[in-house]
Amino acid sequence: MKRYVYIDDDESSHDIYCDNRISNRKYTVLNFLPKNLWEQFSRFMNQYFLLIACLQLWPLITPVNPASTWGPLIFIFAVSASKEAWDDYNRYLSDKKANEKEVWVVKKSVKKLIQAQDIHVGNIVWLRENDEVPSDLVLIGTSDPQGVCYVETAALDGETDLKTRVIPSACMGIDVELLHKIKGVIECPSPDKDIRRFDANMRLFPPFIDNDICPLTIKNTILQSCYLRNTEWACGVAVYTGNETKMGMSRGIPEPKLTAMDAMIDKLTGAIFIFQIVVVLVLGVAGNVWKDTEAKQQWYVLYPHEGPWYELLVIPLRFELLCSIMIPISIKVSLDLVKSLYAKFIDWDHQMIDLETSIPSNATNTAISEDLGQVEYILTDKTGTLTENKMIFRRCCISGNFYGNENGDALKDVELLNAVSSGSSDVIRFLTVMAICNTVIPTPSKTGDILYKAQSQDEDALVHAAARLHMVYFNKSGNILGIKFNSSILQYEVLETLEFTSERKRMSVVVKDCQNGKILLLSKGADEAILPYARTGQQTRHFIEAVEQYAHLGLRTLCLAWRELKRDEYREWSLMFKEASSTLVDREWRVADVCQRVEHDLDILGVTAIEDRLQDGVPETIETLRKAGINFWMLTGDKQNTAIQIALSCNFISPEPKGQLLSIDGKTQDDVCRSLERVLRTMRITTSEPKDVAFVVDGWALEIALNHYRKAFTELAVLARTAICCRVTPSQKAQLVQILKSCDYRTLAIGDGGNDVRMIQQADIGVGISGREGLQAARAADYSIGKFRFLKRLILVHGRYSYNRTAFLSQYSFYKSLLICFIQIFFSFISGVSGTSLFNSVSLMAYNVFYTSVPVLVSVLDKDLSEKTVMQHPQILFYCQAGRLLNPSTFAGWFGRSLFHAIVVFVISIHAYAYDKSEMEEVSMVALSGCIWLQAFVVTMETNSFTILQHMAIWGNLAAFYAINWIFSALPSSGMYTIMFRLCRQPSYWIAIFLMVAAGMGPILGIKYFRYTYRPSKINTLQQAERLGGPILSLGTIEPQQRSIEKDVSTLSITQPKNRNPVYEPLLSDSPNATRRSFGAGTPFDFFQSQSRLTHSTSYTRNCKDN
Amino acid sequence: MDLDGESSSTLSTGVQTIPRHSTRHGAFYQFTQQSLPACKPVLTPATVITTFLLMGFIFIPVGLITLRASNSVVEIVDRYDIDCVQEEFRHNKVAYIKDESIPKNCSRFLKVLRPMKAPIYIYYQLDNYYQNHRRYVKSRSDKQLLHGLAYNDTSSCKPLESSHDLPIVPCGLIAWSLFNDTYTFSRGPTELKVNRKNIAWKSDRDQKYGKHVYPFNFQNGTLIGGGKLDPSIPLSDQEDLIVWMRTAALPSFRKLYGRIEEDLDADDVIVVHLMNNYNTYSFGGKKKLVLSTSSWLGGKNDFLGVANLFVGAFCILISIIFLLLHVKYPRPYGDTTYISWNRKIVAS
């Protein structure tokens, strides 16, 4: 599907395309109620409660006033509906603001001010500096004579640097006045959400230019929600409007995530539901039998001889209603409430504020904090996540000379400085490539310094380093780059830019040296993308050595190369390039193909080594979390060697003999299969040994493994605690997450860049690091943190506490509902199985909604162990991971406890209030008081740490219970008039209550003490250790020493190359395929071809899906 | 674009709040950092054993005192529903009770075993009588009891809301099945005065039953239930009805009939003349007459005392067991060397 946009001819587009009205709203005023109700009732729990509430409207069967269910039900629905309505209203307001913004638009060659929502496809929109772009536009003119403008795309992709956008060549040089009258047609694809691609063509109608087709790329567009910066004005043709813009299309509500705990609670609810059905059936049958045998003889009940047809159903339905409180209606509200508080605690946490940038942690998804405590796999990105993504140029190798090896900083290497000042031609070429082979934009700041706006941190580091070495890139005006070398100014004209893609792994520029008119190709890229294309005869051996040496130090390497192009060659090639970049189908691949035709016979200049330092606390964090039983996978686009080095230095894998690294590689299916099987065999053997076995796999082998040997790879994934996946694409990252999820593991993905977004969204929990690569990952994530080390606190403190608290809260909610329900069931046995409710409506409603929900809510402050203890003993997380605190057996414990308490309360109240005292209201209040007292003590018993708030809630709630009942007892119209006053004056009431507390809590205290002392869990032991003071002697105190050793290793590995052999060699020596890769001339390296085949197929399928 | 606004605002607030919070280490700050001062109780052997011991030492005396109070109550219980049926009707008691022509009067002789101090409460006890049956307990109208005929909506009284198309006051099954055995007492030749006033709760008389509501159309239908009411006495003075309307929670219950305001001596013989009107024969219920004195705890009920003693003894037993356990197997508390992080052991 294509669309043809006729410039400034909106008559034709009116009917076909929507106007520019943005609508993010989910509801309208009319459909709000039905749609919202429909959504809410699609949940099983809500359907259940509605059914119960409807049944209660039938007075014959309802045991209590229907208000006792309708009230809470309507309250719950009102709360979630008004939350939705409020969100939708805010969306409406922001839409309205955007829609009514006034913009200048040319319509029928006349420029007028209209509201943004009235823009139609084909209109020419004029923007001034700092305006927000109202719809997707194809640029046709800017204030800049070269047709360049700058946009900030932060809202779109989170990248804060300015991007350049240029007008298409066809529009170059059109006068401002003429822009009003411009006519033409733009052929562009149907709207999609790919913000990096726009494969379109433009043809202007005479008299502007001959019928030449001009290719358009994303470079020629400015997209909705970007801001125009540093440009006086710009104008463009609207091609996509309203919700059909790239921004509008990529908007979407992600699937709500369900925590493992929610799933467990649902399962338990299901079990309780089945139990309830059984109880109802048994009691229903018993009731009908009793009615036929006994009640028919009881003249005072006056049963008619012939009942209506539904008579048999009446008693079971009554019991259904009586037992409906088994499933607590309050649990959803309570859980929502505490979950949002967990999220708030994360937002508030001072220890998780990045002090450098003052960015606090943020929980975007408030519903999944418990899952943090149950994480089993962490899949982490490397660059920017483990490392700081603060690139510093450290070393280089120029034509065989190593610089920076002695002091670790090439910029201070005297030899290099001498070489620069002596003007060695190799060094100057090297510096030139460093300075201009990039997409960096220099802007002079007010203080006279030059600020560089770079899209990639590597380029930034190179440009800065070049500037330090006196090759200062100071100006870019249009295509002319200005460079100051020593005191002379050199100028280069950029002819073409061959952009970087992750498939090509290199970028090049074609420039004309303005001094002598020579045309030069400057390239930089990954070693395997540059070195194979060296000119025949050049020795690349020392470059390969340099690359390996740098990689062992964990440095990022780039190879720089250049070639002088002949004019004819350039002319011929540029035509091809132009054609390729104007194709609509598979443009990326075609362009890559054409690029390769010029990037050959390169003169390799040297290798740069850029250091990307580990973030603070990364090794400690990984070690702690691994001790907590979390498995780590590193997924990176980087080289295998660099990845392994980083992995070593951050405790990711251990060196021999403690650890073993197995490698899966191979270029063909058979190779990969063999390698995979070998690794799998080794892995199976070594699982019994206490050895850290990890495997390393690269993207190519991974692709084969995922496509053809998925089962074997999945088995490997389960066996391996650690894995390093290098050179993986974003979609492979997401696939790996999918594999682990399919094995029922809780996964957490953490990353910082746009390439991690898919993995973050795929994982059970996505954590984004608000880092230097923009906020894209942080925005897509459930949690965003400033630094990797906060992950430790996020999981061990927030995740663990959330899990513990929810485990208690949810089981307690069932406990208290079951307690009162069991009493009702017992009472039915002494009331002729007729379904009488012992408790009145007010008590029943208040019991669930008020009396029992307040004390338990403050359990969000409960801490079983102090944060310090947990950090020292991260292994304790196992209890959360294995779901030790909420599972069918713990639930059975709570079930038994409620049964026991119900028996205690029921037996004591009916015997203490027998004979002359057996007045219905009094007995019911005695039983209710007993429940309230018992639940207060249960909360007390299960609370590990009491803050003032807990005391207030527990005992205040008890006082409130009496206050409320005294108020009701003072109202003559209420059924329980004077009851509570009478009871409180009776000694037997108080004796009975304390008897219930003692009889109910005594055995529980005894069992708890016994288990706490003689069968202690690890948590108990740590509690005892922590609370009795004194040093906690265990791994915690030994740790620092271990750490310091390993820290030495990590620092050594960066500074001293001598250490590399013992660390590195043995690691792969055991692995089945230990031969190192070499890129000699003898082994033809078919990387690009195979890669292009691969990208061809994948990108093609992706296209299909988009269309 | 709304996304952008959101994130930038959170960023800016975050930046602003940092200095403000760190300067103010108030309670709210501690709350947000989850670092409110907290007390963390430990279940040490000492505290647990003392708690149980203490509970034992509280509950045993309480049990003894309540048991003593219960024992101080003198109670005479006399089941009369079978003995008051003449021999010839014993095989068909239902026919006996339904036949109005048969005289229902009956005399019982109660021997006082221990001296009883006034006031002596007279209860009638019904066993196997389900006042708490759902159909029964719901069949009343509190509003009608208070407002009488002025209140029309008596649908809650089903199935007895009207008869002969006229509303019944008081309506419903409970009122309709009013207990109607009567008792008179004499000691030797002299009649014992029975005070039948103030047997219902004062709050009921004053607030729940209308002072100007008179029985109307009551027991006029084809089905005659229990007792009849004097239409000239307002409901608030029909204390038997008020007592009866306070439904019992258990199928065996006692209701106050009156008070004897004289002391009874040991070996006194009380003669009870009763009218055995109420039908408990069709459903196998029992009728008993109870004379009982009262203590600060109420009537005779050993349950609380026995239960207290039992719980107290149990607590002391537990504390002894724990003490022995503690002496025999002392556990070093909080010894983390016990912790083995071997997962296999944990898992099993």
**A360 contacts in B (CB within 8 Å)?**
14, 17-18
Q: Name the nearest CA neighbour of B79 among B286, B222, B236, B258.
A: B286
For residue A418, the distance in angstroms to the closest alpha carbon of chain B comes to 46
What was the pLDDT predicted at A585? 67
> B264-281: per-residue pLDDT in tens?
988 889 999 999 889 899
- Residue A739 exposed, middle or buried by CB count within 10 Å (0-12, 13-18, 19+): middle
How does residue A665 score in pLDDT terms, banded at 50, 70 and 90? confident
Q: Which residues of A are annotated as a binding site?
A: 381-383, 459, 500, 524, 556, 636-638, 727, 733, 752, 755-756
Q: Does B243 touch chain A (CB under 8 A)?
A: no
What was the pLDDT predicted at A250? 65
How does residue B339 score in pLDDT terms, banded at 50, 70 and 90? low
How does residue A468 score in pLDDT terms, banded at 50, 70 and 90? confident
Q: Does A915 touch chain B (CB under 8 A)?
A: yes
Burial B20-29 (b: 16+ CB within 10 A, else e): ebeeeeeeeb
* Alpha helix positions (H), A183-259: 246-250
Q: Is B133 in Cβ contact with A831 (below 8 Å)?
A: yes
Residue A216 has pLDDT above 80, yes or no: yes
For the record, the structure tokens of A286 come out as 């018993």
Q: Name the nearest CA neighbour of A1013 among B112, B42, B181.
A: B42
Q: Is B3 in Cβ contact with A779 (below 8 Å)?
A: yes
Q: Is A348 in Cβ contact with B136 (below 8 Å)?
A: no
Write the single-letter amino acid at B177.
Answer: S
What was the pLDDT predicted at A584? 65
| DSSP string across A273-326 | HHHHHHHHHHHHHHHHHHHHHTGGG-GGG---SS--TTHHHHHHHHHHHHHGGG
Q: Is B336 in Cβ contact with A1032 (below 8 Å)?
A: yes
What was the pLDDT predicted at A679? 86
Q: What is the largest CA-CA distance in chain A?
A: 121
Q: Name the nearest CA neighbour of A160 among B19, B11, B18.
A: B11
Q: Is A24 in Cβ contact with B1 (below 8 Å)?
A: no
> A101-114: per-residue pLDDT in tens?
888 888 777 888 88
**A998 contacts in B (CB within 8 Å)?**
55, 59, 311, 315
Q: Mean per-residue pLDDT for A404-429?
A: 83
What was the pLDDT predicted at A1033? 45
Instruction: Measure the CA–CA gap between A428 and A184, rounded to whole angstroms.
Output: 47
Task: Choose between B20 and B88: higher pLDDT.
Answer: B88
For residue B273, the distance in angstroms to the closest alpha carbon of chain A comes to 23
**B306 contacts in A (CB within 8 Å)?**
none
> A332-352: per-residue pLDDT in tens?
878 888 988 999 999 999 988
Q: Which is catalytic among the residues A19, A381, A665, A864? A: A381
Domain-wise residue ranges, chain B = 74-293
Q: Which of A115-119, A425-429, A631-635, A768-772 has the highest mean pLDDT?
A: A631-635
Task: Choose between A11 and A1092: higher pLDDT.
Answer: A11
Instruction: Measure the CA–CA gap between A610 and A624, rounded to whole angstroms.
Output: 29
Q: Is A225 in Cβ contact with B4 (below 8 Å)?
A: yes
Q: Which of A1022-1031, B24-33, B88-97, B313-322 has the highest mean pLDDT?
A: B313-322
How does residue A656 score in pLDDT terms, banded at 50, 70 and 90? low
Instruction: Measure the CA–CA gap between A802 and A807, rounded to whole angstroms.
Output: 8
Give the Cα-Cα-Cα angle A416, A422, A423 (nearest 5 degrees).
Answer: 90
| DSSP string across A875-927 | GGGHHHHTT-SSSHHHHHHHHHHHHHHHHHHHHHHHHHT-BTT-BHHHHHHHH
> A1041-1054: per-residue pLDDT in tens?
333 333 333 333 33
What was the pLDDT predicted at B157? 87
DSSP A567: H
Instruction: Mutate one of B31, B67, B97, B135 to test the A interface: name it (highest A CB count within 10 A).
Output: B135
Cis peptide before A657 (omega within 30 of 0): yes
Residue A1106 has pLDDT above 80, yes or no: no
SS3 state of residue A436: helix
Residue B338 has pLDDT above 60, yes or no: no
Instruction: Mutate one of B133, B199, B310 to test the A interface: name it (highest A CB count within 10 A).
Output: B133
Q: Is A920 in Cβ contact with B137 (below 8 Å)?
A: yes
The radius of gyration computed from the CA coordinates of chain B, to the nearest angstrom, equals: 33
For the record, the structure tokens of B299 come out as 């009537």
What was the pLDDT predicted at A532? 86
With CA atoms as reference, the chain A residue closest to B334 would be A1025
> A483-542: per-residue pLDDT in tens?
888 788 888 988 888 877 766 778 889 999 888 888 999 999 888 888 888 888 888 888
How does residue B255 score in pLDDT terms, banded at 50, 70 and 90? very high
From the list A359, A988, A1034, which residue is nearest B298 (CB)? A988
Residue A428 has pLDDT above 60, yes or no: yes
What was the pLDDT predicted at B252? 93
Q: Name the nearest CA neighbour of A925 among A916, A913, A936.
A: A913
With CA atoms as reference, the chain B residue closest to A941 would be B41
Ranges A6-20, A280-294, A372-386: which has the least confidence: A6-20
What was the pLDDT predicted at A988? 92
From the list B18, B132, B252, which residue is nearest A920 (CB)? B132
For residue A849, the distance in angstroms to the closest alpha carbon of chain B comes to 25
Instruction: Measure the CA–CA gap between B328 and B317, rounded to whole angstroms.
Output: 16
Q: Are strands A765-769 and A747-751 parallel, antiparallel or unpaired?
A: parallel
Whole-number Cα distances in Å, A35 to A24, A41, A232, A252, A256: 16, 10, 46, 18, 18
What was the pLDDT predicted at B243? 93
From the list B45, B303, B315, which residue is nearest A912 (CB)? B303
> A612-631: per-residue pLDDT in tens?
788 888 888 998 998 888 99
* Helix H or strand E segment including A260: helix A260-293
User: Do residues A276 and A325 make contact, with C-beta atoms less than 8 angstroms apart?
Assistant: no
> A414-423: per-residue pLDDT in tens?
888 888 888 8
Instruction: Measure the CA–CA gap between A860 and A852, rounded to whole angstroms.
Output: 15
Whole-number Cα distances in Å, A712 to A86, A660, A676, A687, A736: 50, 20, 8, 16, 13
Instruction: Mutate one of A95, A300, A906 to test the B interface: name it (highest B CB count within 10 A).
Output: A300
Q: Name the nearest CA neighbour of A693 among A705, A706, A680, A702.
A: A680
With CA atoms as reference, the chain B residue closest to A349 would be B33
How does residue B341 score in pLDDT terms, banded at 50, 70 and 90? low
Residue B82 has pLDDT above 80, yes or no: yes
Residue B14's contacts (CB-CB under 8 Å, 6 or more residues apart) are A353, A358, A359, A360, A362
Residue A954 has pLDDT above 70, yes or no: yes
Q: Does A131 touch chain B (CB under 8 A)?
A: no
What was the pLDDT predicted at B178? 92
For tokens 């009608």, name the residue. Answer: B144
For residue A154, the distance in angstroms to the closest alpha carbon of chain B comes to 8
> A154-179: per-residue pLDDT in tens?
666 655 566 778 888 777 777 777 78
Q: Is A91 in Cβ contact with B137 (below 8 Å)?
A: no
Instruction: Measure the CA–CA gap between A219 and A166, rounded to whole angstroms.
Output: 6
Would residue A136 show up in a list of annotated catalytic residues for this protein?
A: no
Backbone angles phi, psi at B133, to 5 degrees: -65, 140
Instruction: Measure the CA–CA gap between A473 and A434, rounded to whole angstroms.
Output: 10
Could you say which residues from 727 to 756 on chain A have a Cβ atom under 8 Å away from some Cβ of chain B?
Answer: none
Q: Does B55 touch chain A (CB under 8 A)?
A: yes
Residue B113 has pLDDT above 60, yes or no: yes
Write the single-letter amino acid at A134.
Answer: P
Residue A10 has pLDDT above 70, yes or no: no
User: Do residues A955 and A939 make contact, with C-beta atoms less than 8 angstroms apart?
Assistant: no
Backbone angles phi, psi at A766, to 5 degrees: -110, 130
Ranges A180-194, A335-349, B43-57, B176-190: which has the least confidence: A180-194
Secondary structure of A11-39 as H, E, C letters: HHHHHHCCCCCCCCCCCCCCCHHHHHHHH
Q: Are strands A124-128 and A102-107 parallel, antiparallel or unpaired?
A: antiparallel
Give the Cα-Cα-Cα angle B210, B213, B215 (nearest 5 degrees).
Answer: 130
Could you say which residues from 91 to 110 on chain B have a Cβ atom under 8 Å away from some Cβ of chain A?
Answer: none
- A940 C-beta neighbours (distance < 10 Å), count: 16
Secondary structure of chain B as H, E, C letters: CHHHHHHHHHHHHHHHHHHHHHHCCCHHHHHHCCCCCEECCCCCHHHHHHHHHHHHHHHHHHHHHHHHHHHHCCEEEEECCCCCCCHHHHHHHHHHHHCCCCCCEEEEEEECCCCECCCEEEEEEEECCCCCCHHHHCCCCHHHHHHHHHCCCCHHHCCCCEECCEECECCCHHHHCCCCCEEEEEECCEEECEECCCCCCHHHHHHHCCCCCCCECCCCCCCCCCCCCCCCCCHHHCHHHHHHHCCECCCCEEEEEEEECCCECCCCEEEEEEECCCCCCCCCCEEEEEEECCECCECCCCHHHHHHHHHHHHHHHHHHHHHHHHHHCCCCCCCHHHCCCCHHHHHC
What was the pLDDT predicted at B340? 58
Polymer length of chain B:
348
Q: Name the nearest CA neighbour of A159 among A551, A473, A453, A355.
A: A453
Instruction: Measure the CA–CA gap between B168 and A114, rounded to whole angstroms.
Output: 77
Instruction: Measure the CA–CA gap between A625 and A641, rounded to whole angstroms.
Output: 24
Ranges A209-213, A663-667, A693-697: which has the least confidence: A209-213
Residue A815 has pLDDT above 70, yes or no: yes
Residue A853's contacts (CB-CB under 8 Å, 6 or more residues apart) are A330, A333, A334, A813
What was the pLDDT predicted at A158? 53
How does residue B13 score in pLDDT terms, banded at 50, 70 and 90? very low
User: Do residues B117 and B263 make contact, with C-beta atoms less than 8 angstroms apart?
Assistant: yes
Q: Does B327 touch chain A (CB under 8 A)?
A: no
For the record, the structure tokens of A411 come out as 């910029």
* Helix H or strand E segment including A362: strand A362-363
From the list A351, A882, A919, which residue is nearest B249 (CB)? A919
What was the pLDDT predicted at B195? 92
Could you say which residues from 7 to 36 on chain A have a Cβ atom under 8 Å away from some Cβ of chain B?
Answer: 24
What was the pLDDT predicted at A1082? 36
Ranges A76-90, A111-125, A897-911, B21-35: which has the least confidence: B21-35
The radius of gyration computed from the CA coordinates of chain A, to the nearest angstrom, equals: 36
Mean pLDDT of chain A: 81
For the record, the structure tokens of A1002 come out as 């005594």
Write the single-letter amino acid at A767.
Answer: V
> A259-296: per-residue pLDDT in tens?
888 888 888 988 999 999 999 999 999 999 998 888 88
Q: Mean per-residue pLDDT for A23-40?
A: 82
Task: Choose between A657 and A699: higher pLDDT.
Answer: A699
What was the pLDDT predicted at A1041? 33
Backbone angles phi, psi at A961, to 5 degrees: -60, -45
Could you say which residues from 302 to 361 on chain A have a Cβ atom under 8 Å away from some Cβ of chain B?
Answer: 302-304, 318, 344-345, 348-351, 353, 358-360
Q: Name the nearest CA neighbour of A727 among A641, A853, A620.
A: A641
Q: Which residues of A are annotated as a binding site for Mg(2+)?
A: 381, 383, 752, 756
How does residue B241 score in pLDDT terms, banded at 50, 70 and 90? very high
Ranges A13-17, A38-42, A667-671, B161-165: which has the least confidence: A13-17
How does residue B19 score in pLDDT terms, banded at 50, 70 and 90? very low
Q: Is B123 in Cβ contact with A344 (below 8 Å)?
A: no
Q: Does B134 touch chain A (CB under 8 A)?
A: yes
Q: Is A360 in Cβ contact with B18 (below 8 Å)?
A: yes
Task: Name the percent of chain A lying above pLDDT 90.
Answer: 17
For tokens 């709360």, name the residue. Answer: A79
